[in-house]
Amino acid sequence: MTEAPSLPPAYRLVTMDTVGSTNEEAKRLARAGAEDGTLVWAREQTAGRGRSGRSWTSPPGNLYCSIIARPECPPAEAAQLSFVAALGLGGALGAVLPPLVEMRYKWPNDVLLNNRKVAGILIETEGVGKDALDWLVIGVGLNIASHPEDTEFPATGLKFEAGVDFTAQELLETFTRHFLAWVNRWLDDGFEPVRQEWRRRAKGINEKIAVRLPDGRVAGTFIDLDTDGALILETDAGRRRITAGDVFFAAP
């Protein structure tokens, strides 16, 4: 890495060539007292993780970063930052994508290009009690130059899908600006503006979906995103609120 990225002054950048996981490094720094806005960026991860402990392929050329946040709110409310991060990624991608590439948000924490996963978000927290949050780490992985082929949900990369040739540093700079703008909007106005913007590009609303839960699988119609970020599903047994799970869409 030559020139340091140009980030908004709200961030304190920690740059690494290689790390096991940017989230793990950010968690270590948070426990050591690192302040809000500390951002760990690595060119490569050797032990990248997605949700539920799944591995995240992390070769050089893609974007891997984790941001430490210390919001003064309960953990359940702080989890809304996953949607804030999605909008930050959406804004960054919207700035570089050609017009015909379709971008959508997949509940709860993915970004799709042409119905394939291009980015994922992993939120991890640590509290000082049941309702008190000490810190939160927002991990972001964005496929730019390459993407894995053998994944349960089809993946893609920015260069493959859109033919654009941007570096991880350029996307980091763009993402942090858009993310900060949405964080400030969330702090000032609450979740509703975030919810409305996320819904505008949501994949699957008013369509049949299946959701894999820790204890099984449920199918129904994706009715809406609730006011706290939960998925509202209309099933044969009635309406159901889902706060965690993996969404799968019906084949076209």
**231 phi and psi, to 5 degrees?**
-85, 130
Asked if 226 contacts 234 with a C-beta cutoff of 8 angstroms, the reply is no
pLDDT, position 1: 46
Residues of the chain with pLDDT > 70, as a percent, come to 94
List of residues 6+ apart from 251 with CB closer than 8 A? none
How many angstroms from the chain centroid is the CA of residue 234?
A: 25
Q: Collapsing DSSP states into helix, strand and coil, what is residue 248? A: strand
Nearest to 86 by CA among 179, 153, 167: 179
pLDDT, position 18: 94
pLDDT, position 51: 54
List of residues 6+ apart from 60 with CB closer than 8 A? 43, 44, 145
- Token pair belonging to 181: 């703008």
pTM exceeds 0.75 for this model? yes
For 238, counting Cβ atoms within 10 Å of its Cβ (0-12 exposed, 13-18 middle, 19+ buried), the class is exposed
What does the DSSP assignment read for 86-131? HHHHHHHHHTT--TT--EEEETTTEEEETTEEEEEEEEEEEEEETT
pLDDT, position 251: 63
List of residues 6+ apart from 57 with CB closer than 8 A? 48, 147, 148
Domains of the chain: 12-200 (3.30.930.10), 208-249 (2.30.30.100)
Per-residue model confidence as pLDDT tens digits over 54-79: 565 688 999 999 999 999 888 889 99
Helices 81-94, 192-200: inter-axial angle, 10-degree rounding: 50
Residue 53 predicted with pLDDT over 70: no
Q: Collapsing DSSP states into helix, strand and coil, what is residue 21? A: coil
When the pLDDT of each residue in the chain is averaged and rounded to a whole number, the result is 92
List of residues 6+ apart from 204 with CB closer than 8 A? 106, 107, 222, 247, 249
